Structures are given as structure tokens and as C-alpha cells.
A and B are shown apart, each in its own frame.
Chain A
Amino acid sequence: MVQLPTIPESATRDALVETPLDDYELIDFGRGRKLERWGPYVTETLDRHAVGEPDKLSWQADWIYVDDVGQSGHWQPTRSGLDRQWTVQLGGASVVCRLEPRGRVGLPGRDILCAGWIRQRIEGCYDLEELTVLNLFAGNGYVTAQALAAGATVVHVEADGDMLELAQLQAGRQNVEYVQHNVMDFVEALLRRQQRFDVIVLPAPDLGHGPKGQLWDREVDLPRLVKHLPRLVTDDCLGIWLSTDGGAITWKAESLGQLLHEVLPGRTIEPLNLGVATADGRVLAAGIAARWYDETAFLQTGGIALTAAQLEERLDTHMVSLGAAEEPARALAGYSREQQDFVLRCAGMVARTSSGMAFNFVSHVCGALRLMDESGVEAWLLHCMDIYDTKGLHPAVAAFKDVDNFARGHRERTTGLALDEVVNVLEAFVHGLNGRRLKVESGEHVFTDSESLFLPNAISRFKQRDKNFQLYKTMAVHQWAQTWYGTWRVDISEALHRYPDYQSALKCFHALETLRLDARVRQMLPGVYRHIQEFRQATDASMDEAWQQAARRLERADATVRDSLSLIGATIDRALPVAPLYQGVLHPDAVRKVRKARMQTDKQAFRIGLLKMQNDLNRRQAEQHEDEIQEESTAEASGDEKPVFALRKVEAEETADGFTFEIELDGRPLPAPDNVKSTMASILQDLGDIPEEYLYAAGDGAYFAGDIGERRAEDVWKGTYHEEGAFLYNEWDYERQNYRKNWAVLREMDVHPTHDHFIGRTLHKYRGLAMDLRRTFEALRGEDKLLKRQSYGDDVDIDALVEAVADTQHGEEMTDRLFVKLHKLERNIAVMFMVDMSGSTKGWINDAEREALALLCEALETLGDRYAIYGFSGMTRKRCEVYRVKSFDDPYDDDVKARISGIRPKDYTRMGVTIRHLSYLLNQVEARTRLLITLSDGKPDDYDTYRGAYGIEDTRMALIEAKRSGIHPFCITIDNEARDYLPHMYGAVNYAVIDEVRKLPLKVSDIYRRLTT
């Protein structure tokens, strides 16, 4: 049991209303009375806090409250013609000043302070639509009015009928419920109803009466009421204001604070002494208050550091096991408030992915904070989470423990260049150079496996960042050159194993290859070579005669990797020249593995490409020579002649070898589509040639790697999965070139909503972007177009008028279309979003998808286009599922937002049937333009045979069917390999690849905007 500290007296602060403030001024006070100016009138009345001597000797007032014996006094005017009720301006609102019994007029000082704070709390919150305020003992309605002005809805509870009437005058009737009730009874009714509020205002009187005479005694009732507070506030409670007139000795600000602390621990409590100040600084006490609020949700800094108990309270929400947060909280208690907030924020973020990781984070974060600044700690956290995503739990735990190492590396990084900063530039650079699209990743050593370039995480060798960057560039170029100039065309390890010492043979080979590659780079990229030369100085100086001879041999333009291999014998016994900085190492085994897999897929893709080309050609020929074919086909079919593919070499400067191939079928050249060309380029890069066996179109009884052991879907899903109430769709079998009737069974389901204010959080996280988006889309929506030649409008169209007059003179009738009109361009667009919910989206991708949707919905709501969002997943053809997040008719309400938040990764990706079903839904909407946009992370892929070519072809057919019905499909994907199959499915211009998941939220709205203007 954690010991809750009591609120110390030192924690109490003063909160003052400085006057003059708008129309109000406290002029003077003393001897139990005060002099105030409310707008045009000066009033003098009682105030039991007004101790001491007044400043002025005589007071001039318009209205004086005369205290008769006992409680009932009356207001005395000092001249005739004065109003008893008037309005003044205060705090941006009108305040009704009425002369009340018991000497009250205008507002008590505490109301001004309370309203100011409440308004600030409400306006600081993003989720404006939902805010509810409970105002107990609400009095004259000023606080209520301010809360309403800030955008909240209010329940205003007040027992006094006159006061209630004044309040209604003050605050109006919109969004406010007036309740004339005894407070304790009403609160109990609220508890029974389980109604909760985001803000509670509780200015408790010391004594009072309910409307039916029920007694309120602060001593007894206030603690009771405060005990109910936890059940009256929402999870996102923005604040509680508890105040009272400081009475005698028992009621101090700290005691109010303590009351709140005992029932609602773990948050910020500010005890306050309230007061009103005159122009020259004398303060009239106005009661005491305690403000309760939760700072961490809104990242407000400033304020006292949290105690271990408070920290544990907040960390516990992220932990799985009880008490896990105790030690970390204790360690964290010694840090500044900013650092604590930072840690809590990060912990919350991590906990969304895994609470185990959150625990590891908080356990080690203090060590991290000691060694690095906040940006360093953030980098460490991201680093560990990356490891968690890619390698799993245990390596991530180890990474969290290894703070020291990381910090050291971080220090290096801040002086040097981090790979992260330049990876995009390097990837684009290498991609521009040509060849297979290579990824740049960080690795322990510098090497390539022929699909990725591994570079160090950071380079801080040189003092200048530019030089460090040039080193990165030359490393990247060198690795790229290995793939481009054919270092890996032969089986290196096999060739090197012939030597007794494999390792030294490998090093020797590498040095030779570097000579050869550098010579080629020198010829192709002279700019890069200048840097290479710098790095090579030591190397060149250390080459002996044998090496120099080898270098001369390898510098010839026709040198190949075999030449390097052949020279090993001559140089292996000589001293190895110094390896240049950018050289890295060779990993033949890694390359072999990757290459083998790639060659398989390339071969298959190429053969399928040939098949397609052949089919296209046959189809075209059949259309052209319909009659002829009738005669000839019977003769031909009887023969055994299959069409023969051949390759013709053509010169091509762009390729490394200087040539490429054109495909010929039966001696006639056949143009190849882009994806076949790129596959061919990849094969050439690997092999330097296209082997004979590749030239047979697929389908000749060939063995497809992807269709091993065609498991029947029925076997997998044995048992009754009844098809009642489901939709049946055909599926396209590209081998048969025909549909499988009613093959796929699809059901519509709803996403299970998760009410966690995900949308609000996302919008807050991207608030800058969300504002931009809103502005951009607003501009789109209301494009005020100037329509010319209208029959009526705001202004005369001079061009039309000139023409009309000319026409009239010529004897023709004058048209009436002579005006210009400002017209909002009507957008008549309906768009259906198809969101990939397959298992592969787990983790960052799922988050990014949901965030992208949140931003997109904001944009679409602004724009006014009709839209629907459906997720899709499923397993096998018998269980295809489409999850409704928002249908066209649904308004964008809380349920929809909760469903967006509830999108979770599920199973597989059977795209064809989904497209067919969603097209069917989309076609039921009346709109001039219909869009089907897919958000996906990869290829179509299902548990049974729905993958590879089959999946792609069926998806493509479904898209063609959609296009035929007038729908424009578009695909947004994060799969880097998408360029290989997306043009084939969606068309050359109807897709966009986003290379980083993190950019998804930003780019999706941009793409939508470009599509529809």
C-alpha cells in the first residue's frame, strides 16, 4: 500500500483577479465592506473577508447596501433614476448585474477565476464536441456561460429560483440543462444513472437550503459529496474545481486539496487562495479553491515533478502485471517534470504495440536519460522497437538492456552522419544509377547480398558531414557496382574453395574485383570516381608490381569477373594492398541464397510473361483473321508445332554488358510489356544471358513453385461452413482462361469498435498536418468558379455582351446568356476505400493504416464527397470476409470512429472477390464519378492456391470488370516490389507506391486530392 503524502501548505498558491478588469473594478475595501464599480454604477456592500482599514476616508457609491438587523437588508440608491439591473462586459462575455438580497451584486471574485480556468481547460482540449460540464451550486450562470462559449454542454444545478432565472438570462438556453434540485439528491440520481462529466465545478457554500428545504452543511456534506466525484468523472476528465469561502480555521486551501487527493490520487492538485486585487495591489480574499486536473494527457509542461506514487499510478495503466511499475516509478521520481512527461508519453506509445516492451522501456529509461538527451532516448527507443518488429522479443529485450552501447553510438552519431538521415537519398541515388531496385539497410559490415546494400549505421570518421556523406555514397556505389558489373554471375565460393586458404583467396579476389569495378565506375561516373580516388590513395601506394600488372589487366573495358578469378593465382602470395575505406566485405553465401530464390521467381515470371504475350498475340490474330483461322487451325492443331520463342541480341548502351534482348515469336518480333522487360533485365544482371530453358512459355506442364501440392480448399476447411446469407462470386482462373463459378464465399461483417479516442489522438498528433489538410480540401470543395455566359448572375459578361450586340446588329436574336456567376463547383464523386486487414499488416503498418484513415476521413468530411470504408481479409475461398467500417449511408459519428480504431490485422488477402463485392456496393450509389481505392501492403495472397500468378490474374480480371462498370480503380501500396505486378493489375498510371510506412498518413490524402481534381 503506497503512502499518499498530504498536501503541504507550501503547495498553496495565490490566484488573483487583477482589477480593473473590463467593466469591473474593486475600488476599496475594509471594515467588513467593499466598494466596487460594475460598469456605469458603483456599489457598496458587505463582505466578511474585507478586513483591515479602507484606503479612502469616504466612499462615493450609487447603490449602497444597508444592513438591517438580522439577515434581510436592502439596497439604497443615492440618487434617483438608477437601474436595478444592467449588463456589463467581463471576460469576453456579458454579465447581468442585478441587485440581489443579502447584498450580492455582479459576480463574486471566485467565479471570475473559476470561469477563466474552466474555459482554458476546455479550449485546450481537442475533442470539442463531446465535452460535458457539471456545475453544482451554479449560482448566477457566469461560469456556465463561459463554459458554453468554450463549446461545452452544461448541466447547471441551482436550488434558488431567482438565481436560476438570472442564470438563464446570463447563459441562455442552448446546450444547457437547468436543474432546480437539492445538490446531494441530484448527485445521487446522477450516480444511479451512471452519468459522467468531463468537467465538474463545485463552489460549495458553507450553509444552504435545497428547494424543498433540505439542509446543506459544508462540514458534513462536502466530504460526502467529494467522495462521489470519482464516479462522476469520465476517463478523460479535464478538471475539477472545488472551492468554498474560507471560513474560520478549519477550511484551508490545502484541506480542499487533501479532500480531492484522497479520492482522486495520481493527478495534479493545485490548492489556491483566491483574491481580488485593487488597482494599487491590495488583495481582498475571496475564498479558497483546489483545482484537480490531469496534465500528462495534454503535454503541458511546467508544474511540480510527479511523485513516485503518481508515476506508478500512470505507469500501471500500461503494465500487464500489478506492481511491475513500482521500481521504475521510484527511479523516475527523481527527474524533472518534463522528463517524466516525456517518459510517460513514450511509454504510452510503446504500450500500444506491446506492454512487455513498455515495461522494458521504463525499466531502463533512467539509465538512458543519464547518458543521453531526449532526442537520444527517443532514438534508442525507436531502435529497440525496430528490433522488436524485425527480430522479436528477446533481441529487443537485450537491446533495451544495452543502453550504454547505444549511447556511445549515439554520441558518435551526433557528430557524424547517421544512415537514417541519408538512406532515402542513397536509395534514390542507387535507383537512379540503374538495375534492380536495391534497398539500403544498416548492417554490421559493409556488403551486399545482391538485393540489399548494407551500410554502417553511422559514419563519423571525418569532421565534415559532407565527407562522411561522400564515404556513404562511395560505399553504396561500390556495392551497387558489384551487382551491376557482374561480380556475382559466377559461383564465387565454389571457385574460391579450390584454393587451400579460402579466406585469403576471398580477400584477394575482393581486392582484384575492386580494381576492376573502380575502373568501370571511372568510365561511367567520373564524378564519383574523383572521391574514389581520394579514398584510394593509400591503396594505390601499397600495390607492388604483381598487383599493378593485375590492375592494368583489369582496367580494360572487356574485363569480367572471370578475369579477376584467374588473376588470384598470380597475386595470392603477394602482400595485399590496403583495402580502401569503401570496400567492405564479400559474403558469397548470403548472395547465393538470395540469388537462388530470385532466379526462381524471375524464371517463373518470365515464362508466365511469355505465355501472356503468346495468348495476347493469338487473340489478336484470331480477331483479325477469323475466317482464315477456321481453315488453318484445324490443319495446324493436328500438327505438333508449338510456337517457338527466340531471342535477338540488340545493342543497348544502358545495360552493363552493352546489349539486351528482344523477344521474337516464330521469327517475328514481339513487343514485351514493361514487367517482362524488367524481369529480363534482372535475369541478365544475374546470368549475363537468358538460358534456353527460359524460353518456353509457362503452362507446358511446367512445375510452378507456388502451387506445390495443391491443397484443396475443402480439405483445409472441412466441416460445415454453410453458405447461407453469404455472397457468392466467380473467380477467374487464368490457366483455364475462364471463370470458376460461385467459387468464393463472402460475408459482410462489422468491425468491432474500440472506443479509445483514437481519432482524437491521431488528429492531435498530426495537428499541423490536419490543419493543412483541412485548408487544402476546403479550397477544393468550394472552388468558386466564375461561370460565364449565364442567363443570370452577379455581373455582366463583357465578352458575351460584345458578341451578342454584334449578333444583334447582324440581325440575329440576342441571347440572354450575358452574365457571369460565381458558382461552387459541384463535386459528384463517390469513393470506396478497400483497406487491407491481412495479418501482414500487424504492427506499425496497421497503425499507419488507421492513422491514414483518420486523416482521410477528416479531409473527406470537409470535402463532402460520399465515401465508404471497408476492410477485407479472410482465409480460403470459403471464408472471405469484408468488414464494414463505414458504409455510404453512415454518418461520420462516434461509432465509425470507434470502428476505424478497431481495425485489426486478421488473416489473408483474397483481393478478387473483395473487389467484386465492393464494386457491387459502389455501383449502387448514384454518382458521376466512382473511385475504388485500395490500401494494401502487398500482393494478393490466400491460404490455398490464391497467390502468385493466379491471385494476380484474378485480381486483374476483377479490376477489369470494375472498370467496365464505370469504376476507376486505384491502388496505394507500401510494397516496394509493387512495381512488378501493380502496372499489370491496375494499369500503368493507377497506382502509387509509398516507400515508408510512416509516410502513409501524409501521402494518402495527397494522392486522393490529385486523383480528383
Chain B
Amino acid sequence: MTAQVLKPEEYFITEEPYYESVGNEVEVFEAAYRNQLPVLLKGPTGCGKTRFMEHMAWRLKRPLITVSCHDDLTASDLVGRFLISGGETVWVDGPLARAVRSGGICYLDEVVEARKDTTVVIHPLADDRRVLPMEKLGELLEAGADFCLAISYNPGYQSVLKDLKQSTRQRFVALEFDYPCAELEAKIVASEGAIEPELAGQLVKFAHMTRNLKGSGLEEGASTRLLVHAAKLVKSGVQPVVACRASIAQALTDDEEMLIAVNELSASVF
């Protein structure tokens, strides 16, 4: 299959992305969307935030435009800039402007990584003005009812220098994501990894053991995503213990003693 080139605003999700509701996040998101409120997704890595966004984009039938935020992100990276094309200046929209124009969902992932002076660009979009000022064009882009702004971040081990300002946080409806309960997680793993429910249950049991170790040797426990990785490996014929070692233990920590302990845990479950 060759790689495809898509314009972001054409990125409609046509097939239902698999997503299991943990609580009532789908209803809350839909309600926020109908009320044109922006949404903040909080949670550890690998617990379904991005998958949730895809699911909602499919559900609401809007294109999903994702921006991965980083330290060098500037306002014009988000809003747009002039480029020279064939001797003429041409305004090119950034992902945020595209989303507003096409009435899509703009998803800013890991928003705390961006600098604070960049993040404030989204403030006018995130309160009830719902406009995007484009100073270079001298225009004010008003968002239609279809547009939705979503941001995400991981509140985990916070550095004092990188956190979300109150003036930003308080504009959003916040949804908290966490690892689902054991039954549900097993269902997800079995479905995504295409393995038997029993094996999925064992993987989830193992994941719970690693989550018990959070803070006493492991920074984070195994995320659902890692379990899916392990499941896929097992499906391809890798021994479960080996799969856990490669896809989970080594991904979680480099500390020797912790590695031995985690590997012993996986060896005791299978």
C-alpha cells in the first residue's frame, strides 16, 4: 500500500475507530460539541485520548486535524504564513486556521510542550468569542458551529517549569482519562490485538501489577497501548513472556533491578 497524501481538512474518518467507553465521556464530548465548548483531555500516555478523538471525529463526521506540540512551535505554525509561490505571495493556512475554515476538529496533542506565548493563540477560539485573529491577513476568522477545539496533556510527573496556566485551563471542559477497569481493558486488548479473551485477561493482570509499582521504581505503569503491542506480538507467534519483555518491560524502565522484577512478574502470570 502506498503512502497517501491528504490535505488535513479532507481527513475524514470513514471507518469506525474501535473505542470502548469507560464512563460517559462520549456524551460529555457530544454535549460540549453541541454547545461549542472546547475540550481538554487529561490522562497518562497510552490510555486512549487520541483514539477517543478519532472516534468522536468519526461519530460527528468532521475532519480531524492533529497538531503535535513542541517547544519550537510558533503562532504562525498554527495560524499560517505567507509563502512565495511563482513570484507571488500566497497565504497558506496553518492547521488551526484550516480546521476553523473547514469546520473540523482541531486536536492539539501534548499542549504543555509548546511555549506559553504560542498557546495563548488559542484563547480567542477557546472562549465564547470563537474567533481566530489573523493579524497578517488583517482578518478575523469566525468559527462555524461545526468547529471544535480539543487539547490534551499528561499531568503525571510535573516539572515546575512546564504546566498549564490557569488562564488557559479554565476555558476548557476537562475529561479525565485513565486506564479502564480490568474487564473493559481486557476486551479492548482482545479486540485490538485479535487474541483470545483469556490471554487478554492475563495481559491486563500483568499490567495491573506494573501499575502497582508506579512511584516505587517505575515512573508509569504499563499503558493500554503497550498491552496491545504485546498482544499483536503474541498473535504473530511470539511467546507471551518474551512479548511482555520486549514490548512492556523494556519500554517501561532501564533500571536493572526493576527490569528483573517486572520480568519475574510477567513470568509468573503466564
Q: Which A residues have a C-beta under 8 Å from some C-beta of B?
A: 424-426, 428-429, 431-434, 437, 473, 477, 524-528, 653-654, 788-789, 802-803, 805-807, 809-810, 812, 929, 931, 968, 979, 989-990, 993, 995, 1010-1013
Which among A425, A526, A805, A1010 is the interface contact of B257 at CB below 8 angstroms? A425
Interface residues of B in 73-123 (CB under 8 A from A): 74, 76, 81-84, 88-90
> What is the CB-to-nearest-CB distance from A104 to chain B, in angstroms, rounded to a whole number?
63
> What is the CB-to-nearest-CB distance from B255 to chain A, in angstroms, rounded to a whole number?
10
Query: Which residues of the other chain, A, contact B212 by a CB distance below 8 angstroms?
Result: 431-434
A528 to B202, alpha carbons, bound, how many Å? 14
| A525, A788, A993, A1013 pick with most chain B CB within 10 angstroms | A525
Which among B81, B83, B183, B261 is the interface contact of A429 at CB below 8 angstroms? B261
The 5 tightest CB contacts between A and B, nearest first, are: A806-B82, A428-B261, A432-B209, A527-B268, A528-B268
Query: Which residues of the other chain, A, contact B213 by a CB distance below 8 angstroms?
Result: 428, 431-432
A431 to B210, alpha carbons, bound, how many Å? 9
A812 to B82, alpha carbons, bound, how many Å? 11
Contact A989–B268 (Cβ < 8 Å): no
Which among B82, B160, B208, B217 is the interface contact of A810 at CB below 8 angstroms? B82
Interface residues of B in 222-248 (CB under 8 A from A): 241
With CB as the reference atom, state the residue of chain A lying closest to B212.
A432
Tell me, yes or no, whether B267 is within 8 Å of chain A by CB. yes
> What is the CB-to-nearest-CB distance from B183 to chain A, in angstroms, rounded to a whole number?
7
Query: Which residues of the other chain, B, contact A1013 by a CB distance below 8 angstroms?
Result: 159, 161
Tell me, yes or no, whether B156 is within 8 Å of chain A by CB. yes
Contact B160–A434 (Cβ < 8 Å): no
Query: Which residues of the other chain, A, contact B217 by a CB distance below 8 angstroms?
Result: 428
Contact B160–A1011 (Cβ < 8 Å): yes
A805 to B84, alpha carbons, bound, how many Å? 8
Query: Which residues of the other chain, A, contact B81 by a CB distance below 8 angstroms?
Result: 803, 806
Contact B136–A425 (Cβ < 8 Å): no
Query: Which residues of the other chain, A, contact B161 by a CB distance below 8 angstroms?
Result: 929, 1012-1013
A931 to B160, alpha carbons, bound, how many Å? 9
Query: Which residues of the other chain, A, contact B241 by a CB distance below 8 angstroms?
Result: 527
Query: Which residues of the other chain, B, contact A432 by a CB distance below 8 angstroms?
Result: 209-210, 212-213, 261-262, 265
Tell me, yes or no, whether B216 is within 8 Å of chain A by CB. yes
Task: Knowing A654-B182, A1010-B159 are in contact, say whether A527-B267 is a contact too (CB < 8 A).
Answer: yes
Contact B160–A1012 (Cβ < 8 Å): yes
Which among A428, A477, A527, A979 is the interface contact of B269 at CB below 8 angstroms? A527
Which among A428, A802, A931, A989 is the interface contact of B156 at CB below 8 angstroms? A989
A993 to B209, alpha carbons, bound, how many Å? 19
Contact A810–B89 (Cβ < 8 Å): yes
Task: Knowing A428-B217, A431-B213, A526-B270 are in contact, say whether A1010-B82 is a contact too (CB < 8 A).
Answer: no
Q: Which B residues have a C-beta under 8 Å from some C-beta of A?
A: 72, 74, 76, 81-84, 88-90, 136, 155-161, 182-183, 205, 208-210, 212-213, 215-217, 241, 257-258, 260-262, 264-270
A437 to B260, alpha carbons, bound, how many Å? 19
With CB as the reference atom, state the residue of chain A lying closest to B204.
A653
Task: Knowing A429-B265, A473-B264, A989-B158 are in contact, say whether A653-B216 is a contact too (CB < 8 A).
Answer: no
A597 to B208, alpha carbons, bound, how many Å? 29
A790 to B209, alpha carbons, bound, how many Å? 51
Query: Which residues of the other chain, A, contact B268 by a CB distance below 8 angstroms?
Result: 429, 473, 477, 525-528
Some 19 contacts from A to B, beta carbons below 8 A apart, are A424-B257, A428-B213, A428-B257, A429-B265, A432-B209, A434-B209, A437-B216, A477-B268, A527-B241, A653-B183, A803-B82, A806-B89, A809-B88, A810-B89, A989-B155, A993-B215, A1011-B159, A1013-B159, A1013-B161
A227 to B183, alpha carbons, bound, how many Å? 86
Contact A425–B208 (Cβ < 8 Å): no
Contact A806–B83 (Cβ < 8 Å): yes
Task: Knowing A806-B89, A807-B82, A810-B89 are in contact, say whether A433-B209 is a contact too (CB < 8 A).
Answer: yes
Task: Knowing A429-B265, A526-B270, A528-B268 are in contact, say whether A993-B216 is a contact too (CB < 8 A).
Answer: yes
With CB as the reference atom, state the residue of chain A lying closest to B213.
A432
| B210, B264, B267, B269 pick with most chain A CB within 10 angstroms | B264
A720 to B208, alpha carbons, bound, how many Å? 58
Contact B264–A425 (Cβ < 8 Å): yes
A528 to B264, alpha carbons, bound, how many Å? 9
Which among B88, B158, B216, B261 is the interface contact of A425 at CB below 8 angstroms? B261
Contact B157–A1010 (Cβ < 8 Å): yes
Which among B74, B215, B270 is the interface contact of A527 at CB below 8 angstroms? B270
Query: Which residues of the other chain, B, contact A812 by a CB distance below 8 angstroms?
Result: 136
A654 to B209, alpha carbons, bound, how many Å? 10
A433 to B258, alpha carbons, bound, how many Å? 14
Query: Which residues of the other chain, B, contact A1012 by a CB distance below 8 angstroms?
Result: 159-161
Contact A525–B216 (Cβ < 8 Å): no
Contact A424–B261 (Cβ < 8 Å): yes
A807 to B83, alpha carbons, bound, how many Å? 8
Query: Which residues of the other chain, B, contact A805 by a CB distance below 8 angstroms?
Result: 84
Contact B269–A526 (Cβ < 8 Å): yes
> What is the CB-to-nearest-CB distance from A159 to chain B, in angstroms, rounded to a whole number?
63
A432 to B248, alpha carbons, bound, how many Å? 14
A429 to B249, alpha carbons, bound, how many Å? 13
> What is the CB-to-nearest-CB distance from A993 to chain B, in angstroms, rounded to a whole number?
7
Which among B157, B160, B216 is the interface contact of A929 at CB below 8 angstroms? B160
> What is the CB-to-nearest-CB distance from B46 to chain A, in angstroms, rounded to a whole number?
18
Query: Which residues of the other chain, B, contact A989 by a CB distance below 8 angstroms?
Result: 155-158
Query: Which residues of the other chain, A, contact B261 by a CB distance below 8 angstroms?
Result: 424-426, 428-429, 432
Contact A653–B264 (Cβ < 8 Å): no
| B89, B156, B262 pick with most chain A CB within 10 angstroms | B89
Contact A809–B264 (Cβ < 8 Å): no
> What is the CB-to-nearest-CB distance from A716 to chain B, in angstroms, rounded to a whole number?
38
With CB as the reference atom, state the residue of chain A lying closest to B208.
A654
Contact B159–A429 (Cβ < 8 Å): no
17 extra interface residue pairs, beta carbon distance < 8 Å, beyond A424-B261, A807-B89: A428-B257, A429-B261, A432-B213, A432-B261, A434-B209, A473-B264, A473-B268, A803-B76, A806-B81, A806-B89, A807-B136, A809-B84, A809-B88, A989-B155, A989-B156, A995-B216, A1010-B159
Query: Which residues of the other chain, B, contact A425 by a CB distance below 8 angstroms?
Result: 257, 260-261, 264
Query: Which residues of the other chain, A, contact B183 by a CB distance below 8 angstroms?
Result: 653
Query: Which residues of the other chain, A, contact B216 by a CB distance below 8 angstroms?
Result: 428, 431, 437, 979, 993, 995
With CB as the reference atom, state the residue of chain A lying closest to B90.
A806
Query: Which residues of the other chain, B, contact A806 by a CB distance below 8 angstroms?
Result: 81-84, 89-90
A526 to B183, alpha carbons, bound, how many Å? 19
Which among B155, B182, B258 is the interface contact of A428 at CB below 8 angstroms? B258
Query: Which residues of the other chain, A, contact B158 by a CB distance below 8 angstroms?
Result: 989-990
A995 to B208, alpha carbons, bound, how many Å? 21
> What is the CB-to-nearest-CB distance from A568 to chain B, in angstroms, rounded to a whole number?
30
With CB as the reference atom, state the residue of chain A lying closest to B216.
A431
A292 to B233, alpha carbons, bound, how many Å? 68
Query: Which residues of the other chain, B, contact A428 by a CB distance below 8 angstroms?
Result: 213, 216-217, 257-258, 261-262
> What is the CB-to-nearest-CB distance from B5 to chain A, in angstroms, rounded to a whole number?
22
| A524, A527, A979, A990 pick with most chain B CB within 10 angstroms | A527
| B88, B158, B160 pick with most chain A CB within 10 angstroms | B160
Query: Which residues of the other chain, A, contact B76 by a CB distance below 8 angstroms?
Result: 803
Task: Knowing A527-B268, A654-B182, A806-B89 are in contact, say whether A434-B136 is a contact too (CB < 8 A).
Answer: no
> What is the CB-to-nearest-CB distance from A180 to chain B, in angstroms, rounded to a whole number?
59
Query: Which residues of the other chain, B, contact A803 by a CB distance below 8 angstroms?
Result: 76, 81-83
> What is the CB-to-nearest-CB distance from B223 to chain A, in angstroms, rounded to a whole number?
16
> What is the CB-to-nearest-CB distance from B149 to chain A, in angstroms, rounded to a whole number?
25
> What is the CB-to-nearest-CB distance from A995 to chain B, in angstroms, rounded to a whole number?
7
With CB as the reference atom, state the residue of chain B lying closest to A989.
B158
Contact A802–B160 (Cβ < 8 Å): no
A477 to B89, alpha carbons, bound, how many Å? 71
With CB as the reference atom, state the residue of chain B lying closest to A979.
B215
Contact A653–B155 (Cβ < 8 Å): no
With CB as the reference atom, state the residue of chain A lying closest to B87.
A809
Query: Which residues of the other chain, A, contact B210 by a CB distance below 8 angstroms?
Result: 432
With CB as the reference atom, state the residue of chain A lying closest to B137.
A810
With CB as the reference atom, state the residue of chain B lying closest to A806.
B82
